[in-house]
Each structure stands twice: as C-alpha cells, then as structure tokens.
Amino acid sequence: MSLAAEEILELSEQVLRSSNKVKGIEAEMVTAIALIESSGNVKAYRYEEHLGEASSGLTQLLQSTAKWLAEDLSYDEYELDLYQPASSLYFCAAYLCWLKTYKSVTRSDEFVVRGYNGGPNGVNLEATVPYWNKYKQALETVLSLGTQGAKKQRVICPGDTFYGIAKDLGIALEDLLAANAGVDPTKLVVGQAINLP
C-alpha cells in the first residue's frame, strides 16, 4: 500500500497536532523525509548491512531507534509498529525533534535532515550531501501541495467532533458542516475522512 504526498502530509499534520511530546517539527519536513525514504510505500523495507538491522515503514527508521525513542526518551504516544503509517511518522518526528536540539543546541534544518540520514555524527560527512539535496527537492513538492487547489481533508481521530475540529482549525462550524453535506456529525467513525472548507 502506498500513500500519496497529500495523504502523508495530512497524516503528519494530525500526528503532530495530537502529540504532547513532539514539538517544533513541521509536518512538511516529516512528509518530505517520508517521500525520500519510501516514496509513500508503507511497507518499505531496507536491510542496512553495515548496521546489521533493517529500516522499515514510510520513514525507514530503524526499529532500534524507535525503541530507544520510546523507552529511553519517553516518546511513547504511538505503538512501536513502523509499518503503521501514523507510528512511522510519529517516530520520525520524534527523532527529528531530538536532532533539532542535539546536545542542547538548537540546530538548523540542514543539520536535522542530514542527521536523520547519517546520524548526528554523520552530519558533516560528504555522504549526507545528496540526501540534503533530495530533501530540498522533496520539500518543494510538499510545499506546492497547498497551491494545487486539492481538496483538503482530515481523518477522524478518537474524541473528534465537528465542533472540536472547527474550533481547533479556526473555521466556522457552519462551513465545516456545509463541506460535509450528507455526513451525520453525530455518527463520526475513527478513520473516516471528512472534507475541510
């Protein structure tokens, strides 16, 4: 199963919005990394021979890295299943968050992205330069999504109501209801996609 860039961006936004622990990371960055790493393939798998371990899921994170983030750094809001798109995006964002303030110093996007590819000690390696260049191209693609006039949607999460969604997004409840004519706001289902005005 593959996700389009728009779907990855939407899910990244939801994951970041719902997290109480991952802060200061943009959904666009997470989405661009997912596009580089897996081209949207949620079941992507790559054996890293030099590490003796596989990277998996949308963001091709190592299972050991996700486990370290969850157990040692308390990024534990999602299950350790990197084949679940939301979990993969969450642990990617958590790792980016950790890199953003590596050794208690606020780092540049280039440091963060190159660190995602080569680890914090690989940031200055020549081998991470092509990754940074791919990231810049992927980010341009992600940023262009908002200008293509695509229909914006949101997936219903546990506890969501039309009123709460409208309030969180700063839109009029009437506009949200009008964009979803035929949807019963009292019978929302987790995972259901609704249109945003």
- Three-state DSSP at 47 gives strand
Query: pLDDT digits over 80-104, tens only?
Result: 999 999 999 999 999 999 999 999 9
What is the value of pTM for the model shown? 0.74
- Three-state DSSP at 95 gives helix
Report d(CA 100, CA 25) in Å as an integer. 8
Domains 5-147 and 153-195 in one fold: no
Please tell me which residue, 124 or 71, carries the higher pLDDT value: 71
**Per-domain residue ranges of the chain:** 5-147, 153-195
**Angle 129-144/5-18 helices, nearest 10 degrees?**
90
Query: pLDDT digits over 19-54, tens only?
Result: 999 999 999 999 999 999 999 999 999 998 988 999
Specify which residues 61 forms β-bridges with.
56
In terms of phi and psi (left: phi > 0; alpha: psi -120 to 50; beta: otherwise), the region of 182 is: left
CATH number, domain 153-195 = 3.10.350.10
At 80, give phi and psi (nearest 5°). Answer: -80, 55
Domain 5-147 has CATH 3.40.50.970: no
